[in-house]
Structure 1
Amino acid sequence: MPPESAESPGSPPSEEPPADLLAVLPRIIQFSAAVTKGRLAERATEAAGLSLDRPAMGVLLSLRTADGPLRIGEIADRMQVVGPHVTRQVQALEKRGLVRRVADPHDRRASLIEPTEAGAEGANRYVASLLAWFAEALTDWPPQDRDDLARLLARLVDDVTARLARFDEYGEG
């Protein structure tokens, strides 16, 4: 049974939303639109010297931020997509020499995916490009504001991700 506080995004609210939250929603939408319209991901991909679409870059980033090689299902979980989608991306990245399959030391039937040297270097250039862009955008912010942004954004993402996982677990509606 779902928790009583877990309303789905499409369900009617039980009360008027708090004004502070109502004020944040347009800013989240504005930020998303600015990043998308500004083609930030595409520009970073170009700066990295890669001609990859967003899903393929997502696979490389998932591998870049992992502590080691990952199974297809682990990559899919990190990207919040289904396994077959990741399988297609991995196959395309393998053909380009950006990832490779390695044996899973815990299960000989399974394989893990890891970036090749070229894949890791491309992912590192992509991350460096994104970080440089955001560093420039925040250059006039005091260190405390930057720290607050990092802390609060991490908390927001964690809480939203956990709440969405509950929707998936208990079903929407």
Structure 2
Amino acid sequence: MPRPKPKDAELPAPDLRFRILNWVGIIDQLASNRANRTLRDQDLPLPQFVMLNHFSHRPEEGKTVGGIARAMQQLPPAVTKTTQKLLVKGYLREAPSPDDARSKQLFLTARGKAAHGKAIAALVPEVVPAFADWKPADLEQFWQYLDKLKLWLDQNR
């Protein structure tokens, strides 16, 4: 008597585009766990590092909690919780908003820039081995594809 096929065998193979995004999600999960372990010694949990990274792109620009929440696609209470921790550490500073007296703007401090730089310095050695056997042209091409995907996703939220 033949053995019944497992139910998975009846499912069609997922579309390659779905598989790519699924793989990106898995890579994000694995990389995030690795980064959390690396940053633990610096008392900088990954959500705080991600926030500092967001501020590092335009460090002189003030940001509101609402603006950060929209940019990072997070709920304002989660952003508030993370920014409060960064304010206590002296990595961010608050200033009244020139446009709205009810709102405050947040700015990256010199201490925040230093913490971000220290975190990057700790993370880079963790990442380099993953690309040890990649040719520079392969890295550049991979970067171009990832950038194209990121831009599309960002423009089509």
**Range of TM-score over shorter length:** 0.7 to 0.9
CA contact (8 A) 1:98 1:119 kept: yes
Aligned partner of 2:49 among 50, 54, 57: 57
In structure 2, the CA distance between the partners of 1:24 and 1:86, relative to structure 1 (3 Å rule), is closer
- In structure 2, the residue matched to 1:92 is 85
In structure 2, the CA distance between the partners of 1:30 and 1:85, relative to structure 1 (3 Å rule), is closer
CA contact (8 A) 1:101 1:111 kept: yes
- In structure 2, the residue matched to 1:83 is 76
1:81 Cα deviation after fit: 0.3
How many residue pairs get aligned? The number is 145
- In structure 2, the residue matched to 1:20 is 16
Q: Which stretches of structure 1, 4 residues or more, deviate above 6 A after TM superposition?
A: none
Q: Give the number of the structure whose residues are more often helix, by fraction.
A: 2
TM-score by length of 1: 0.67
Aligned partner of 1:131 among 124, 145, 151: 124
| 1:77-125 deviation line (CA, Å, top 9, x unaligned) | 2321022221222222212222111243455553211122221111122
Q: Which moved more, 1:82-91 or 1:104-113?
A: 104-113
**CA–CA separation in structure 1 for the residues paired with 2:16 and 2:132:** 27
1:30 Cα deviation after fit: 4.3
- In structure 2, the residue matched to 1:8 is none
1:18 Cα deviation after fit: 7.5
What is the root-mean-square deviation of aligned Cα atoms in Å? 2.8
**CA–CA separation in structure 2 for the residues paired with 1:72 and 1:43:** 27
- In structure 2, the residue matched to 1:43 is 37
1:131 Cα deviation after fit: 3.4
Aligned partner of 2:149 among 146, 149, 156: 156
1:43 Cα deviation after fit: 3.1
1:33 Cα deviation after fit: 4.4
